[in-house]
Amino acid sequence: MSGGLTGLRSRSSVRLALLLAGVVVYAWIAAALRPFTLPEYVLVALPMIPVVALTARRARSEPPEGATIAGSDWHRAALLWLAVLLVLVTWELLALFSSPREDHPTLSYLADRVMSTHAGRTVVFLAWLALGAALAVRPSRRVRK
* Binding string, residues 30-69; x marks residues near other proteins by CB under 8 A: xx--xxx---xx--xx-xx--xx--xx-xx-------x-x
Of the pair 19, 82, the CB lying nearest other proteins is at 82
Residues 70, 76, 61, CA angle at the centre, nearest 5°? 50
Q: Is 87 in the site for other proteins (CB under 8 A)?
A: yes
Q: How far are the Cα atoms of 15, 88, 94, 96 from residue 100, in angstroms, in the given order?
A: 49, 20, 12, 10
Q: Is 93 in the site for other proteins (CB under 8 A)?
A: no
Least separation in angstroms between CB 61 and other proteins: 9
Of the pair 8, 46, the CB lying nearest other proteins is at 46
Helix (H) or strand (E) holding 70: none
Q: Is 107 in the site for other proteins (CB under 8 A)?
A: yes
Count of positions on this chain that bind other proteins (CB under 8 A): 60
